[in-house]
């Protein structure tokens, strides 16, 4: 190994997930407004939907911190667990709630959760990739209840939001970037928060391995590597 090469350690980092770290623009403003309005929702449940990387999980964590909600996964939801879930707090968030669609036992669990939350006057936040009407739910009672809920969409980030997100992710990892790097990346990368995380992680690894600052030249090399992968 040459003196100029350093093996990067795969150390975990803690992303900033507080409300102050959530970046807002037209792509997510409607969903953010709903979260800000809680607990004064017109009905006690809300569906937030958007593509992967649009910020749904971060928004759920913002709401969890505010409401002290318990957070569960739609893919792991069971009827047997519902009484304990609703009984543990007065606010519940179900991430990837659309994962219940087409699975009768999961659909029954979500219906039971919805009904019990309403009975106990608990707030319910459901996150999903698509609006509830497009989940493909087969249980009629659940389908009708989901379609009646208010819904807030989240879109892929705009140029401004994507640049701000890249800057935030670099700050989370304490990466200094040269002028021109962020505009270069925004113009060439996939438009999602997930892609931004992959790009910044790759920049971090390459910068550490080569002991080089994050310049446009390094960003160009990283993008070529990611495109090749």
pLDDT in tens, 87-108: 766 899 999 999 999 999 999 9
CATH number of 159-228: 1.10.8.60
E strands along the chain, which residues? 45-49, 70-73, 91-95, 123-128, 151-153
Cβ-Cβ contacts under 8 Å for 172 (sequence gap 6 or more): 13, 14, 15, 16
Identify which of 21, 58, 27 has the alpha carbon closest to the alpha carbon of residue 156: 27
CATH number of 28-153: 3.40.50.300
* 168-213 residue pLDDT tens: 899 989 999 999 999 999 999 988 877 888 999 999 999 999 888 9
The full set of domain ranges for the chain reads 28-153, 159-228
E strands along 146-227, which residues? 151-153
Return the pLDDT at 229: 67
Cβ-Cβ contacts under 8 Å for 23 (sequence gap 6 or more): 55, 161, 164, 165, 168
Return the pLDDT at 10: 38
pLDDT band at 26 (very low <50, low <70, confident <90, very high): confident
Identify which of 85, 91, 82 has the alpha carbon closest to the alpha carbon of residue 63: 91
Return the pLDDT at 89: 63
Distance (Å, whole) CA 31 – CA 62: 12
Cα→Cα distances 154→48, 91, 107, Å: 7, 22, 24
| Residue 58 pLDDT > 90 | no
First and final CA of the chain: distance in angstroms?
Answer: 24
């Amino acid at each position: 190994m040459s003196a100029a090469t350093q093996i990067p350690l795969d150390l975990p980092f803690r992303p900033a997930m507080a409300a102050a770290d959530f970046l807002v623009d037209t792509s997510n403003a409607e969903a953010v407004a709903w979260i800000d309005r809680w607990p004064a929702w017109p009905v006690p449940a809300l569906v937030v939907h958007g593509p992967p990387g649009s910020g749904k999980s971060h928004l759920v964590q913002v709401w969890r911190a505010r409401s002290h909600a318990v957070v569960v996964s739609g893919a792991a939801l069971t009827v047997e667990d519902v009484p304990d879930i609703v009984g543990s707090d007065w606010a519940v968030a179900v991430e990837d709630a659309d994962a219940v669609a087409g699975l009768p036992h999961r659909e029954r669990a979500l219906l039971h959760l919805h009904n019990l939350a309403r009975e106990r006057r608990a707030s319910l936040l459901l996150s999903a990739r698509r609006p509830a009407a497009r989940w493909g739910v087969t249980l009629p009672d659940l389908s009708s209840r989901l379609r009646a809920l208010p819904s807030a969409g989240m879109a892929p980030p705009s140029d401004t939001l994507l640049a701000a997100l890249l800057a935030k992710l670099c700050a989370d990892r304490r990466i200094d970037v040269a002028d021109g790097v962020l505009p270069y990346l925004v113009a060439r990368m996939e438009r999602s928060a997930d892609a931004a995380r992959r790009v910044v992680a790759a920049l971090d690894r390459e910068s550490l391995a080569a002991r080089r600052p994050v310049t446009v030249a390094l960003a160009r090399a990283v993008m070529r590597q990611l495109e090749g992968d």
